[in-house]
Amino acid sequence: MSALAFPHTEQARRIGDDERARILADSGFGTYFTDFMAHATWTADAGWDEGEVVPYGPIQLSPASAVLHYAQEIFEGLKAFRHADGSVWTFRPERNAERMQASARRLALPELATDAFLTSLTALVAADEPWVPAPTTEESLYLRPFMFASEEFLGVRASRRVEYYVIASPAGAYFPRGVQPLVVWISDEYSRAGAGGTGAAKCGGNYASSLLGKAEALEHGADEVLFLDSETRTNIDELSGMNVFAITADGRLLTPSITGSILEGITRESVLALAADRGLERVEQRLAMSDVLEQVSSGEITEMFACGTAAVINPIGEFRALGGSWTVGDGGSGKTTLALRQEITDIQYGRIPDRHGWMTRLV
């Protein structure tokens, strides 16, 4: 088996300097893509090849590729941040590598070693360095590693050929309205994942199963959908791609415990660490939606927020369901929510010391 080095043979950029500047001035989220992508192939016989950084562009696949039929696919999300001195950093990438390994095990895909995962990020960001936006409060280069079954075969078994890619996309705020309090629709019909299923894995199927719930949320004038556990339909799982937190008037930070049906978010984990530094009492437990709504109504819960790599930390201002609506606090952005967001982004952009040792330099 060869070591994954992701060499990059200098090649022309597909997008000129002027167009790139125009894109970076107003990139939105996940709409534009850079000049290059990292790629490696695994086969059951030979393991991983050396990998390569190649021009970004369409992938040629057999219509019989296993991923197109049985959704054997996983992905990750990270960001590259420009610091004031021009250097480029990313946040806790070894946690993404470990989570991708766990997702790979659940989806019967080959694991990619942490150092190979980090090498793929460094190689791509070095090639796409001009795409990393200038340091601001919101702009970064979003990195999307993903892996899928490419064997041409219609039987149901783990693929004997797999592709790994990393693509990059300049990113501003995840939500079109920016960092504004979200209206969250509580889905009474759909769940995202079930016990023993793939809810803890970052696989495309979990996101596909969230789409109808999200569409229903939008129809009700909400920004996001909240899924309850599939078994009892009482406990909070997560949103379509974000974990959920509540802050109480007496200084507790509540979030659903990791039960196997929610994603072990890296922002979630980081928020728990930062909250402990602030003296907030961390409570990871089953959170019944009805209790949370009661405590929102009584004022016992003063703030709620959603978090994830793409969205960072986003206040929740209101819940809606068929039975009514509930305003969180005064419906605005909570003070502690915004302070946690500020702290995490200050660490990411190198504006305050990285006292947890979370940042890794890429370029």
Using CB under 6 A, which residues numbered 79 to 98 contact ligand COI? none
Q: Which stretch binds ligand COI (CB under 6 A): 33-41, 187-195, 224-232, 308-316?
A: 308-316
**Residue closer to ligand COI, measured from CB, 261 or 302:** 261
Q: Which of 241, 256, 317, 329 binds ligand COI (CB under 6 A)?
A: 241
Kind of pairing between the strands at 359-361 and 88-91: antiparallel
Q: Which stretch binds ligand COI (CB under 6 A): 35-43, 184-192, 293-301, 302-310?
A: 302-310
Instruction: Give yes or no for residue 205 binding ligand COI (CB under 6 A).
Output: no
Q: How far is the CB of 153 from ligand COI (least distance, A)?
A: 28
Instruction: Give yes or no for residue 309 binding ligand COI (CB under 6 A).
Output: yes
Q: Are 145 and 118 in contact (CB under 8 A)?
A: no
- Of residues 32, 30, 318, the one with CA closest to residue 175: 30
Residue with tokens 């979003």: 142
**Residue closer to ligand COI, measured from CB, 243 or 295:** 243
Q: Alpha helices of the chain — where are they, by DSSP H?
A: 17-25, 67-70, 93-106, 114-127, 204-208, 211-219, 266-277, 289-298, 335-348
Residue with tokens 């415990």: 257
**Residue closer to ligand COI, measured from CB, 140 or 295:** 140
Q: How far is the CB of 291 from ligand COI (least distance, A)?
A: 26
What are 13's two structure tokens?
A: 């950029």
Three-class SS of residue 184? strand
**Residue closer to ligand COI, measured from CB, 73 or 151:** 73
Instruction: Give yes or no for residue 310 binding ligand COI (CB under 6 A).
Output: yes
Q: Which stretch binds ligand COI (CB under 6 A): 41-49, 60-68, 253-261, 303-311?
A: 303-311
Q: Are 257 and 286 in contact (CB under 8 A)?
A: yes
Cα separation, 63 vs 114, whole angstroms: 31
Which positions touch ligand COI (CB under 6 A)?
77, 241, 308-310
